[in-house]
A = this chain, B = another copy of it.
Amino acid sequence: MIRKTTQLKQLLHSSQLEFLMEAHNGLSAKIVEETGFSGIWGSGLSISAANGVRDNNEMSWTQVLDTVEYMSDATTIPILLDADTGFGNFNNVRRLVRKLEQVNVAGLCIEDKLFPKTNSFINGEQQPLADPIEFAGKIKAAKDTQQDPDFCVVARVEALIAGWSMSEALQRASIYHEAGADAILIHSKAATPNQILGFKSEWQDTCPVIIVPTMYHSTPTSVFRESNFSVAIWANHLLRTAITAMQQAAAKIHSEESIAGIEQQIVPIMEVFRLQDAAELQSAEKTYLPVPAEPVAEIVR
């Protein structure tokens, strides 16, 4: 079994475009793995939304950790955690890295915004960015803290989101790369890939570059391949499809006042048990439990 960290590092450095699929809890993480993806994006937006709170650090960092721990326990492929700004300064990042390694999360991505953060797609251009030197200190602290040499630290550059220049984005990326970042995530909310292509043509292959095509979703994947991006993240689509399905199912059950009409459209309950690996427990019971005694007699005879 290749360590999760090593799997992620190999993804970053593979010669082909790789994909990370968003998950937001243990169940969706398991579905990502079963589908055949080689890695999971632990999305901050999705995790907060699934828990019913906002993507503004309303969850504490240990609550985020609790969720990603379930995700990691349920899967054998690597998770890259969207760790927002690192939830504080370099010292908070150090603690976070130690805790992520303990629960076998393969890497974290931190972004150069200020705590508490706001989602990049909400008034992104009004959001202040972090001092790049201070942010580089977080990256260096993360790298110095990790015990597994293959744990990955990704630096997310928000300059284009915030409406700053390409030069700013490139210079920040350089600073973060020199501080030790294993990859740069260049974020853009443009509807076309022009920004990220522009960045990549300047950045070249200095280090792996990750993209998140949420807003430029109609761009053919071949475009990303041709520009030699390392990883594309499908960042929130399992959450959004679950919302769509649950809203429709809830509406149908509510209006029909019955589950009869939906039974054939959804997985049987046995599929839930399969996803939970109920069979392993039944098998283990044979190994570890004594032969059951006589059942308790009924109280009524």
Contact = CB atoms under 8 A, between A and B. Distances in A.
A54 B171 contact: no
Given A241-B249, A288-B137, A298-B165, A27 B56 contact: no
Contact of A35 (B254, B281, B285, B292): B254
Interface in A105-155: 115-116, 119, 121-123, 126, 128-129, 131-134, 137-138, 140-141
Given A52-B26, A66-B66, A165 B278 contact: no
A30 to B, nearest CB: 6
Contacts of A298: 164-165, 167-168
B54 A26 contact: no
Contacts of A269: 121, 214, 236, 240
B242 A242 contact: yes
A89 B289 contact: yes
A195 interface: no
A58 interface: yes
Contacts of A48: 276
Copies in the complex: 4
A137 B289 CA distance: 6
A226 interface: no
A175 to B, nearest CB: 9
A62 B67 CA distance: 14
A273 to B, nearest CB: 6
A279 to B, nearest CB: 10
Contacts of A63: 60, 62, 66
A102 interface: yes
Given A91-B58, A165-B298, A239 B116 contact: no
From A25, A27, A220, residue with most partner B Cβ within 10 Å: A27
A234 B253 contact: yes
A45 B272 contact: yes
Contacts of A234: 253, 259
Contacts of A248: 241
A92 interface: yes
Interface in A257-296: 257-260, 262-263, 265-269, 271-273, 275-278, 281-282, 284-285, 287-290, 292, 295-296
A116 B88 contact: yes
Given A60-B63, A300-B171, A243 B272 contact: yes
Contacts of A19: 254, 257
Contact of A250 (B115, B238, B251): B238
Interface of A: 19, 21, 25-32, 34-37, 45, 48-58, 60-63, 66, 70-71, 73-75, 87-92, 94-95, 98, 102-104, 115-116, 119, 121-123, 126, 128-129, 131-134, 137-138, 140-141, 164-165, 167-168, 170-172, 213-214, 217-221, 234, 236-251, 253-254, 257-260, 262-263, 265-269, 271-273, 275-278, 281-282, 284-285, 287-290, 292, 295-296, 298-300
